[in-house]
Structure 1
Amino acid sequence: MRRANRLLSVHLVLTLLFLYAPIMAMVVLSFNESGLPTTWSGLSLKWYKKLLSNGAILGPLLNTLIVAVAAALLSTVVGTMLALSVSKIRSSPLINGFLYMPMVIPDILLAVALLSFFALIGFPLGLPTVIIAHVVFCIAFVTAVVRTRLEGFDYSLVEASIDLGASRWRTFWRVMVPALLPGIIGGALLSFTLSFDEFVIASFTAGPSNTAQTLPMKIYSMLRFGITPDINALATVTIFTSFMLVLLAQRFNKTTI
Structure 2
Amino acid sequence: MARWSRFNIASIVLGFGFLYLPIVLLVIFSFNESRLVTVWAGFSTKWYGELFRNQALMDAAWVTIRVGVLSATVATVLGTFAALSLVRYRRFRGRLLFSGMVYAPLVMPEVITGLSLLLLFVALGFDRGFWTVTLAHITFSMCFVAVVVQSRLVSFDQSIEEAAMDLGATPVNTFLQVTLPVIAPAVLSGWMLAFTLSLDDLVIASFTSGPGATTLPMKIYSQVRLGVTPEINAACTLLIGIVALGVVVASVISRRRDIQRQKDEQAAFAN
Q: Taking structure 1 as reference, are residues 88 and 38 closer, same or farther at Cα in structure 2, changes over 3 Å only?
A: closer
The aligned amino acid for 2:222 is S
Q: d(CA) in 1 for partners of 2:148 and 2:221?
A: 31
- Paired residue secondary structure (1:212): coil
Listed as ranges, the gaps of 5+ residues in structure 2 are 259-271
Aligned counterpart, 2:47: 47
Q: Taking structure 1 as reference, are residues 177 and 3 closer, same or farther at Cα in structure 2, changes over 3 Å only?
A: closer
Greater mean deviation of Cα atoms: 129-138 or 119-128: 119-128
Equivalent residue runs for 1:97-176 within 5 Å = 97-176=100-179
Aligned counterpart, 1:82: 82
Q: d(CA) in 1 for partners of 2:40 and 2:234?
A: 16
Greater mean deviation of Cα atoms: 222-231 or 151-160: 222-231
Aligned counterpart, 1:25: 25
The aligned amino acid for 1:197 is D
The answer to whether the 8 Å contact 2:37/2:229 transfers is: no
1:122 shift after superposition? 1.1
Greater mean deviation of Cα atoms: 177-186 or 240-249: 240-249
1:177 shift after superposition? 0.5
1:119 shift after superposition? 1.1
Say yes or no: does 1:65 pair with 2:65.
yes
Listed as ranges, the gaps of 5+ residues in structure 1 are none
The answer to whether the 8 Å contact 1:60/1:214 transfers is: yes
1:96 shift after superposition? 3.7
Q: d(CA) in 1 for partners of 2:64 and 2:249?
A: 22
Q: d(CA) in 1 for partners of 2:73 and 2:98?
A: 24
Q: d(CA) in 1 for partners of 2:71 and 2:139?
A: 9
1:117 shift after superposition? 0.8
Deviations 1:208-228 (A, max 9, x none): x2x011111111111232121
The aligned amino acid for 1:251 is V
Aligned counterpart, 1:248: 249
Q: d(CA) in 1 for partners of 2:246 and 2:173?
A: 30
The aligned amino acid for 1:194 is L
Deviations 1:156-188 (A, max 9, x none): 111100111112111111100001100100000
1:73 shift after superposition? 0.4
1:12 shift after superposition? 0.5
- Paired residue secondary structure (1:82): helix
Equivalent residue runs for 1:195-206 within 5 Å = 195-206=198-209
Aligned counterpart, 2:56: 56
1:152 shift after superposition? 1.1
Aligned counterpart, 2:216: 215
The answer to whether the 8 Å contact 1:29/1:35 transfers is: no
Aligned counterpart, 2:7: 7
Q: d(CA) in 1 for partners of 2:31 and 2:252?
A: 30
Q: d(CA) in 1 for partners of 2:184 and 2:3?
A: 43
Greater mean deviation of Cα atoms: 89-98 or 153-162: 89-98
Question: Which TM-score applies when normalising by structure 1?
Answer: 0.94
Equivalent residue runs for 1:226-245 within 5 Å = 226-245=227-246
Q: How many residues align?
A: 255
Q: d(CA) in 2 for partners of 1:52 and 1:86?
A: 45
1:17 shift after superposition? 0.5
The answer to whether the 8 Å contact 2:37/2:230 transfers is: no
The aligned amino acid for 1:29 is F
* RMSD (Å) for aligned C-alpha atoms: 1.7
